[in-house]
Every structure is written in C-alpha cells, then in structure tokens.
Structure 1
Amino acid sequence: MDLHSLLCCGRFTERNTRGKKNSTGWRVFSLKELRSATNNFNYDNKIGEGGFGSVYWGQLWDGSQIAVKRLKVWSNKAELEFAVEVEDLKRMVLVALACTQSMPEKRPTMTEVVDLLKGIPVI
C-alpha cells in the first residue's frame, strides 16, 4: 500500500509540531504516524466502511483523536469524494457551534439550521 491510499486530515495549529501543513491548511500525516495512531489499522479501531474504503479511529501523540480513511483504490473520484466529505463535516461542525451559543437570540432557528446544513447562506 502506498501513501496515496490513505487520507487523513486535521486542522493545522501552530502548537502542533508533527504532520506537515499543505496548501489547504490541513495537516498531512506520514504512514508511520497513521499506523501508530490507529494501532496499525487494528480491526478494533475500525469505525465504518464505505464504497471507497474503511475508516479507523486513532489517537495522536498529543492525545488528539482522529478518523483515518484508508482507501481501497486511489482515484480522482475518491479524492473528490473525500474533499466533499471534509467540507460537509466542516459545515456540520460550524452549524453545531452556532447552535451552542450561550445567548439564545444568537442561535439559528431550525429553518436556518436546515438551510445552513444544505449549504444555503443565511442572511
């Protein structure tokens, strides 16, 4: 298996010293780092499987938890699907954060939540 058959990302912060930052601002991990985090892709760490591959839970050296997608086959379609999944997850997290505002009047309405999850900007 080569490095291109594994995808893992996490938001880069300055305090992180491992993992390399790429042009998108995401950290790129070495195969050694991913194997260490997932206990060599141990079956017990497998949290899901889809058409393109399996997803494993892992824990980095600093205690951060990650999900690693191990692709069955590398293709442009798989890379595009991964990018779409990352954007979808990012949108969901941002909506969840908006819903947890301490002041209720700053929280989105349910209609706004639905629109935000669909990718429709709320004015």
Structure 2
Amino acid sequence: MRSKQFGSLVLTVAVAVLAAPSLSEARSIPFFGQPVCKEDKERLGHEERILRDRHRLAFDQCRAGAGGGKSRRCEDLQQQQKSEQKRFKDQRKRTLADCKNRVDAKTNRVEAKKTDRKQR
C-alpha cells in the first residue's frame, strides 16, 4: 500500500517538474556522446588524411624518379610537405578554437537569458 502511494507521489513530482515551462525552456538537454563541433572535426580529419596521402604519393614518385636514392629535389619536397602539414595543423587548431568560441558564446547568451528571466 505504501509503495503505491510513494509511486504516485514520485509520478506527480516528475510530471510537475517536466511540465514546468521555465525549466523546459531554460535547459536544453544535449545528446550525450556527441562532441561539440563534430562536423568540423570530421571534415578536418578527412582533409588531413587526403593531404597525407597526397604527400606520400608525391614523395614516393620523387624517390622513384630519383632512382631510389636520396636526392636534393626529394629532400626539398619533403621540407615543403612538412611546412604545409604544419600550416594545416595550425589552421585546424584555429578552426576548432573558433567553433568552440561560437559554442561558448551561444552558451553565454542562453545563460544571460536565464538570468534575465529570473530577475523579472
């Protein structure tokens, strides 16, 4: 008998909490396990793999053209590839930081709206 009363009490409280408009508006429940800026990370990862494959192919072709030994031209190509890879990684870091800043700014706007509602 008591468990029935307790169950109905819990159900009533749960319905009241879920039905409260201020709580449902103020809090958006994120999809757990989905990282922030997922699309950017996936796109950049794909571009990085393409760049790495393109570099590997170009370097292999250079070595094949040089007869398998080290040549100055292949060493120069390798240095260019390293600097291009570094530029790409720097750009990746900036892109992900920009995305994170956009998400943080959006979160701050939501927090400001919550505070504004509470003051009214």
How high is the TM-score relative to the length of structure 1?
0.30
The structure where helix makes up a greater share of residues is: 2
* Structure label with greater radius of gyration: 2
TM-score w.r.t. length of structure 2? 0.30
Greater fraction strand: 1
* Greater relative contact order (Cα < 8 A, sep 6+): 2
